[in-house]
Amino acid sequence: METAAPFEPSEILLLGPGPSPVASSVLRAQALPVLGHLDSEFVALMDRVQDGLRAVFGTRNRFTLPISGTGSAGMEACLTNVVEPGDRVVVGVHGVFGGRIADLAARLGAEVVRVEALFGSALDEAAMAAAIAAGPTRLVCFVHAETSTGVLQPCERIVAAAREADALVLADCVTSLGGLDLGADARGFDLVYSGTQKCLSVPPGLAPVTVSDRALERIRARRSRVPSWYFDFALLAGYWDAETSRAYHHTAPVSMVYGLHEGLRLVLEEGLEDRARRHRQAAERLYAGLDVLGLECVVVEPRLRTPMLTSVRIPDGVQDLEVRRCLRRDHHIEIGGGLGSLAGRAWRIGLMGEGARAEVVDRLIEALGACLGRA
Ligand SMILES: *Cc1c(COP(=O)(O)O)cnc(C)c1O
């Protein structure tokens, strides 16, 4: 290891599927003096972070807190607390992250019912409803904004079918949170997890989650113990819940919590509606720019596109890696490659949080045109 010089990363414009560009005030917040994780000043900050998360999630759930870890830790925490061996769990799989949920549920011993759709399409809500009604379902899972494909999943009918069957609803909102007006309570979601590194524009490291009272009751009524100590919601509540004695569980990642607080402050200062509109407008500008370059979106129907992440078909004869290397080397821009069945066939462009701005889109389109020789 080179120890003589401190590390100095390049300034790269992050327009992939995450991490997203971080506001400078968030970076400054993370450089502030570290407090003890049980210090009264830090505890007061925890309360503010929880209030901010409730506002951005659109929930009144008391159990709303950031799990230590990235978005996947939020996924693992939610599933581990709610799933018991033998439970029937219906999982919509229309991208890589739905597949990851199904894998996790199977590892926890669930009887997993997969409802699949082609990558780039939305889940068929009627097919989800039929699968939910076909047996005693405990949990219904789907990804709200599939970052692997760019699909925004319509979910009213899925949630209604779950309610009808008295099943809990788990929604992966890793990319939705902070990029659209989520309204988790109004949508009827029981367990929602997200990540700091997508539309909240905070570095990777925390996974905000919110859990309904209904879901907490089911968890309390489990036949078996939650098979994780680190992610056990009851133990985490013993540290995060303002009504408890704030018992030490694990050391909170103090500087990450500072960063999340500042990120949430910026979201709420802008306002959820204005922020959602900014993401939509940036996406519209991107579609127009791609069109000029002769590039096509993977998700054909505009109403099914999630504004925060656009998958773009790589034209025949164009080398995926060459173009991405050109963007990084000559233009200091990162975009993502395809995942799963879209690997090598699509690029993924994220306009998330700080990245969802007209001038950013213009810079990208110009650079992409130059790298494709189509400028
Ligand atoms: C990024 C992402 C995840 C995983 O989050 P990590 O921070 O990479 O652990 C899960 N689901 C979706 C929809 C995502 O976009």
Is any atom of ligand 1 closer than 6 Å to the C-beta of 153? no
Which protein residue has the closest C-alpha to ligand 1 atom 5? 71
Angle between helices 40-57 and 254-270 (to 10 degrees): 40
Q: Last residue of a domain, which of 237, 252, 267?
A: 267
Residue 296 within a domain: yes
Residue 131 within a domain: yes
Flag whether pLDDT at 85 surpasses 80: yes
Flag whether pLDDT at 121 surpasses 90: yes
Q: Last residue of a domain, which of 267, 285, 316?
A: 267
Which protein residue has the closest C-alpha to ligand 1 atom 3? 71
Which protein residue has the closest C-alpha to ligand 1 atom 14? 174
Is any atom of ligand 1 closer than 6 Å to the C-beta of 306? no
Residue 55 within a domain: yes
293 lies in the same domain as 178: no
pLDDT tens by residue, 324-349: 999 999 999 999 999 988 999 999 99
Taking the C-alpha atoms of residue 220 and residue 213, their distance in angstroms, rounded to an integer, is: 10
Is any atom of ligand 1 closer than 6 Å to the C-beta of 18? yes
337 lies in the same domain as 288: yes
286 lies in the same domain as 170: no
- Nearest atom (ligand 1) to Cα of 69: 9
Is any atom of ligand 1 closer than 6 Å to the C-beta of 172? yes
Is any atom of ligand 1 closer than 6 Å to the C-beta of 76? no
If you measure from the C-alpha of residue 317 to the centroid of ligand 1, how many angstroms do you get, rounded to a whole number?
A: 30
148 lies in the same domain as 228: yes
Residue 2 within a domain: no
Find the domain containing 183 and state its range.
24-267
Which protein residue has the closest C-alpha to ligand 1 atom 12? 174
132 lies in the same domain as 190: yes
Domain CATH number, residue 303: 3.90.1150.10
- Take residue 129 and report the two structure tokens written for it: 């409803």
Residue 192 within a domain: yes
Question: Residue 1: which pLDDT band, with cuts at 50, 70 and 90?
Answer: low
Q: Last residue of a domain, which of 209, 242, 267?
A: 267
234 lies in the same domain as 275: no
Is any atom of ligand 1 closer than 6 Å to the C-beta of 69? no
Which protein residue has the closest C-alpha to ligand 1 atom 6? 71
Closest CA to 70 of 269, 206, 261: 206
Flag whether pLDDT at 375 surpasses 90: no
Dihedrals φ, ψ of 124, to 5°?
-80, 115
Residue 7 within a domain: no
92 lies in the same domain as 181: yes
Q: What residue ranges in 263-365 does DSSP mark as E strands? A: 309-313, 333-334, 336-337, 346-350
190 lies in the same domain as 203: yes
180 lies in the same domain as 51: yes
217 lies in the same domain as 125: yes
The model's pTM: 0.97
* Rounded mean pLDDT, 26-36: 98
If you measure from the C-alpha of residue 19 to the centroid of ligand 1, how many angstroms do you get, rounded to a whole number?
A: 10
Ligand 1 pocket test: pick from 174, 176, 182, 352 the residue with the most ligand atoms within 8 Å of its Cβ. 174
Domain CATH number, residue 61: 3.40.640.10
> What Å distances lie between residue 91 and 36, 110, 157, CA to CA?
40, 11, 15
Is any atom of ligand 1 closer than 6 Å to the C-beta of 193? no
Residue 4 within a domain: no
How many structural domains compose the chain?
Answer: 2
Flag whether pLDDT at 289 surpasses 80: yes
Ligand 1 pocket test: pick from 72, 170, 311 the residue with the most ligand atoms within 8 Å of its Cβ. 72
* Rounded mean pLDDT, 75-98: 98
139 lies in the same domain as 163: yes
pLDDT tens by residue, 4-16: 899 999 999 999 9
Beta bridge partners of 208: 66
Ligand 1 pocket test: pick from 70, 123, 177 the residue with the most ligand atoms within 8 Å of its Cβ. 70
Mean of the per-residue pLDDT values of the chain = 97
Q: Contact at 8 Å (CB) between 64 and 111? A: no
Residue 291 within a domain: yes
If you measure from the C-alpha of residue 72 to the centroid of ligand 1, how many angstroms do you get, rounded to a whole number?
A: 6
Q: Give residue 243's pLDDT.
A: 87
Q: Give residue 2's pLDDT.
A: 65
pLDDT tens by residue, 167-207: 999 999 999 999 999 999 999 999 999 999 999 999 999 99
Taking the C-alpha atoms of residue 123 and residue 115, their distance in angstroms, rounded to an integer, is: 8
238 lies in the same domain as 355: no
Closest CA to 288 of 362, 179, 370, 180: 362
